[in-house]
Every structure is written in structure tokens, then in C-alpha cells.
Chain A
Amino acid sequence: MKKPHTLAGTLLAALLLAGTAPHALADTKLRAFAGGSGQRPDLMRKLFDQYQQRNPGVTIEVETGGATSELQRQYLGTVLNAKDTSIDLFMIDIVNPAQYAGANWVEPLNAYVGEPAVALKPYLPAYAQANVIDGKVAAMPAFADAMFMYYRKDLLDKHKISEPKTWDELAAAAKKIQQAESDANLQGLSIQGAPIEGAVCTFLLPYWSQGKELNDASGRLTLDKDAAVKGINQWLSMVDQGVIKKNVAEVKTPDTVNEFKAGQVVFAINWGFAWDRFNSDKDSKVSGKVGVMPLPAVAGGKSATCLGGWQWSVSAFSKNKAEAAKLVKFLASPEASKFLAAEGSLLPTSLAVYQDADVLKAVPWFKDAGAVVAAGRSRPLSRDYGQVSDVIRTSVSAALARTKKPEEAVAEIESRLRRVMR
């Protein structure tokens, strides 16, 4: 009874092997995680299609999920903690490479793309810095983002005001326009003070522009308390002057976008995506009237902006690391960057692409954007960025709500971050 069974089994196995073996050797299936709509999985799919055409035998699946950076971090954290092999490469926020490399969740890419000094040379310094952890290339830049100072070009022209260079100049310019327009609904400046990620940048912008750093190269906290208090007071004095709304601690990113679009704001700080909303949305009242400029600095300081953007990493648990790294190299190439800029207005991570004629033809405002992104700074690099972000946004929002004095808020930030960033 046993013999025919074994024979049939052997035959079946032989047949199966004969049928699948050649494919199994040539085919590589890669699974890429490209988060939510903000990471444009639709455009990434097109890039993957291009790659597949040039690399027969490679098939790429896209996995999406998690609307915000925080949700994506939570999801990937769970998958990678479980040493799951199903995802080969994934997109992470600029604030995350330190955590992922620290946790050994990502494959160092030096062996595939070269040493950091060479591999990341074409990119803007902030991306080169954020993606290299302890001399290892933890990720390669996918596309950039930054906070921009948008302004009403028409109103500044009408009142013969040039682009302000300092926050005080901006406050004066905004007040002048507000008074001259005598429109009670017209805000001078819109910033985000609600306890969201945007509030972290709201805290850092005036702080950085004083030439101060929040952390040193090893990630340790280097908070200058006086400068931090001065930064928060800068915003509060603008609230007192009527330039910023009193309820600033309620304002979230979409509020700024909607109010600027409705023509109720002279100056607004927001991410790169807002440009398209201001100019292309059907209900926008400011289409064609929007200017963009580097963020002002405190008097005597230097302009600084908060950098965003996304990176591609190879999972340390992938079974196809070499193929995945090859794909990442393509995704971080100038060619892919040009495609994303022209098709989706996604900001390039290397200065050369900003000056590319084809790119400028498709998105002319990138001419002004390059300088802003180049001056960008990344938020603190920490393994526990979730906690760092929460501490800053909660305290800053409370200070902007005047529930806490700026000194109290900064003392709280310092005592809490000292534990996290050591």
C-alpha cells in the first residue's frame, strides 16, 4: 500500500519542481509600504511599474495604511518588532531614521549604495544628516517637504511692502496691512498652536532662527532655555498685537490652509502641499495671488525652517535585501525625483532637481522653494521621537493657550526631554 503512495508523491513533487523552479529562481517579489495618501502610493506605483519594465522578474506590491506619520510609525513598529519578513522596503518620515536604525530594524545600505559621504552627496545636507546614523546609511531620501511662509502677494504689492526678513518686520507689515484693509476678519499671521506635530515646528522656528540647537550630534538635549522662552514670547507678543489670533492654541494645519484660502490671512506658515491647495482648489479666493518666501528670523538671527519629507528604507528582516536596496537606489535617483516633482509637485531632495528645466516648467514655484528647503532643519533625531514630539507640542500649546507661562512650559520641556534624550 505504501509504495504507490510514495511514488505518486515523488512524481508530484518532481512535476511541481519542474514547473516552478525556473520561475522561482528568476522572480523576486518585493513588498513596499508607502503609508497613506500623503506618501502618494499612486505615484509610487507608477515608479514601480517603470522599474518592473526595466527589471523583468521583479514584481513589486504596494502596501498602504496609516493616515498620519504617527499611525504609520505605530504600524511599522509592531510589524518590525515581530521581525516580520513580509515587508521588504518601507517609507518613513524624516524624524524616524534614528529610531529605526537604533532598533536595528533597517538594513544599513552602505554595501549597496556606497559610503555616506559619496552616496548622500547629491542630497540637501539635512537629508544627508538625518539618514546617516553612526556612519551607516539608514535610509535614502524619497521626497522633501518643508514649512513655507506663504503670503498674499497682492496685498504686499498694494501696500508697497517688501518681504519681511525678521519676525518683528513681519508683525509690523501684517499690522499695517490689517489696519489699512480695515477688515476685522483679516489675520496677520496664521501658525499652528494646537497640540499637533505642527506645534513642534511652531516651537522650533523662532528657536532655531536664534542659531540655537535642540540636540547635539549624538542626540543629547542641548536646549537653551532663554532662547526657547524668547521664541514662545515672540509668538505671544504677536498675539497681543493682534497679528496672530487669540485662539492660536486651537489652530491646526487644515485651519491655516482653509483660512488662507478664504482670503482671511496675510502671512501663513504651512507645509509644501498647501501651495497646490491655495492655487488649484476651486473654492480658493487667493489663486494666483500667493507668494512664497523663506521664513523670517529673530532680529540678528538666521532664517530656519522645519524640514519634513520621506525616506525609503530596507527592512532588516527582508529576505530580498539586495533587490530591495537596488530598488531604493532607483527610488532615490534624480530621475525618480524629477518624476515625482513634475507629476505630483513633490519637493526634490537634491538642489540640482530644483533647477531642472523640465521640473520648473511643470512646477514653476519650485524656483523659490529650493532655497527654503535648503535652509531646512530636521527635528530632533531620537529613538523615542514619539515622546519627544508629545512633550514639545503639549507644553507649547499650553503656553500659547496661556495656561502655562512660557518659562514653565520650557522648564517642563527641559525636565521631560532630559530623560528621553540622553
Chain B
Amino acid sequence: MNALDRLRDPSDRTLAVLMLAPAFLLLALIVVYPIGRLLWNSFFDLRLSGGGEARFIGFENYLLVLTDKDFWNATRNTVLITLITVPGALVVGLALALLANLPFRRQWPVRLALLLPWALPLAFAGLIFAWFFHSEYGVVNDLARRLGGSAPRMWLLEPAFAFAAICLTIIWKTSSFMALILLAGLQMIPKSLYEAAEVDGASRWQQFWQITIPMLMPSIIVALIFRTITALQTFDIPYTMTKGGPGNATETLAMLIHKTTIDYLDVGYGSTLAVFMFLLSLVVTGFYLRRIGRNA
């Protein structure tokens, strides 16, 4: 049977390959190529500010990253933001989901309140909160003044407070996404479980820990995966609130990559930084996937 005949009368195996080919091609084009290109670029001294062709420099960029104070600072900030905002958003999101799951007669105002922060663009949320925390015109200082008459604080100009303000904004923005996923999970739990527990004399607290949390675990894991990966890529909110300042106290890895590649037009080094961010995401995702495997 020659190749033409095989195409005219394909076996199951050939048919499968033919059917999958477009998807593989697409995957190669939109996933494999960009990642491959990123890796390729990271081995070059490639500056778009001109003045010379790209020069192959092997692992020089990688060695530079390891001794780059800005990289370690940005990585520390990114990891800290992830460690603070992911559990923060989970707790707030769970509370919101439980609230939305209560048998309100009118459910839509609660659901709308849940959806609104999620629907706002990240950069817009950042701008709004930058105004809230503005030392002169901000509502936060105004409230503090009305409540305790304390002197206005320059929230976004002090590293620790700026960091806290950013984390708070991220939690506000992302907890509604958590809540939406958890709410869907909550509604999947059969009511009969609670009725049986009630008959057995279990308290609300016991029901929460023995039924709700275990039954919700798959939803929690899914929400955590999504949130963690986006937390590692945090850019918009600190960019609009502080531009990474004061100094570079709130600069994240994504912001450093943006600055290096877009502002400095240093594509080679920017790509190397991006490879590190990719590896970080890969490690974290791998950790979650292993957890899921174990749970399954």
C-alpha cells in the first residue's frame, strides 16, 4: 500500500494522526514556538536600542541573573505577594462564597456584589486603590482622620505600607474570583449530607469542617492553582499603584521583565528573566499537580 492509498483508505491510527495534526500544529505554533524562541533569545546579547547585531553569549545572561540584586528583590516581592494574597483571597473568597450560598430571598444583589470586583480590569482596580491610599485626597487617610484624628500617613511612599496596600488591593480584586469557583463547589454538595449530620447531632462548626471543607477540596485546589499562577505574574496592580516604588520596594518579577524588555529594550536579558519566571511557575504548578494526583 503506498502513501496515497493509505490516505484514501486510512487505518484508525493514520486517521487519528490526521485528526490530531491541526491541534498539534496549533499547539506548536502558539506554545512551543514562543517558549522555544524565549529560550533562544536568552542566550543572546540582544538589544533593540540598536548599535549592533545580536551576539551569542551562551549562559552569560543566566550568570548575570544570579548576581542581579534587582532580580532577587523582585523575586522576593513576587513570592511574598503570592504567599500573602493567595491564602488571603482564599479565606475572604470562602467567606464570600458561604455568604452568597445562604438562602437569601433575593440572591442577585449578593451575586452582583461578588461579580463586580472580578469584572473590573486589574489596572483600573489599581488606579482606584491608588486614589484610596493617596496621602492627600485618599479616603483611607480621611477615614483615619475622622475616626482617630491621626496624622495623615503616606501609604504608598513607605515600603512596608505600600506593600501592604498592594496586597490588600490584590486580595480585594481576586477574592471574588475565588468566591465564584467556591460557590459553584458549595452548590454541588448534596443537602442530604447536612440533613444526616443534623440528625446525628453535629454542630454547624462540625458540619463545616467535616462536610463542607472536604467536599469543597477539589474546588479549593482548582481555585488555588489559578490564583497562584496569576499571583506569580502580578503586574497591573503594583504598576498602577506604585510603579514598583518607592525605589523598587514593590517591584515584581513581571514588572522587572517589562522594564528590562520594553523600557530598556534589552530583549536578551529580559528573556532570561522571563525563563526564570517560567521555571518558578512550572515548579509551583508541578507541586499542585502532584497534590491533585495524590488526592485523586
Contact = CB atoms under 8 A, between A and B. Distances in A.
Given A80-B50, A250-B135, A74 B154 contact: no
Nearest to A402: B157
Interface string B219-262: 00000000000000000000000011111110000000001001
Contact of A395 (B154, B247, B265): B247
A81 B246 contact: no
Interface in A20-43: none
Contact of B245 (A78, A81, A102, A195): A195
B245 A99 contact: no
A99 B51 CA distance: 8
B265 A74 contact: yes
Contacts of B156: 250
A234 B274 CA distance: 40
A401 B50 contact: no
Nearest to A71: B262
Contact of A70 (B136, B248, B263): B263
Contact of B265 (A100, A104, A386, A401): A386
Nearest to B136: A247
A247 B135 contact: yes
Interface string A102-140: 111100000000000000000000000000000000000
Interface in B131-146: 134-136
A247 B157 contact: yes
Given A77-B48, A81-B50, A403 B259 contact: no
A377 interface: no
Contacts of B295: none
Contacts, number: 87
A401 B249 CA distance: 12
A26 B223 CA distance: 65
A195 B243 contact: yes
Interface residues of B, number: 25
Contacts of B49: 77, 99, 102-103, 383-384, 386
A401 B154 contact: yes
Contacts of B154: 246-247, 249-250, 401
Given A78-B48, A100-B50, A383-B50, A403 B244 contact: no
A386 B249 CA distance: 20
Given A99-B49, A102-B51, A398 B247 contact: yes
A345 to B, nearest CB: 30
Interface string A245-289: 111011000000000000000000000000000000000000000
Given A249-B157, A250-B135, A401-B157, A77 B265 contact: yes
A337 interface: no
A52 interface: no
A398 B247 CA distance: 5
Interface string B262-283: 1111100000000000000000
Contact of B50 (A105, A245, A402): A105
A194 B248 CA distance: 13
A387 interface: yes
Contacts of B159: 403
A154 B126 CA distance: 40
Interface in A72-99: 74, 77-78, 80-81, 99
A404 interface: yes
A397 interface: yes
A390 interface: yes
Interface of A: 70, 74, 77-78, 80-81, 99-100, 102-105, 194-195, 245-247, 249-250, 383-384, 386-387, 390, 394-395, 397-398, 401-404
Interface of B: 48-51, 134-136, 154, 156-159, 243-249, 259, 262-266
Given A77-B265, A387-B266, 8 more contacts: A77-B49, A78-B48, A81-B50, A383-B50, A384-B264, A390-B264, A394-B248, A403-B247
**Top 5 nearest A-B pairs by Cβ distance?**
A103-B50, A398-B247, A401-B157, A403-B246, A401-B246
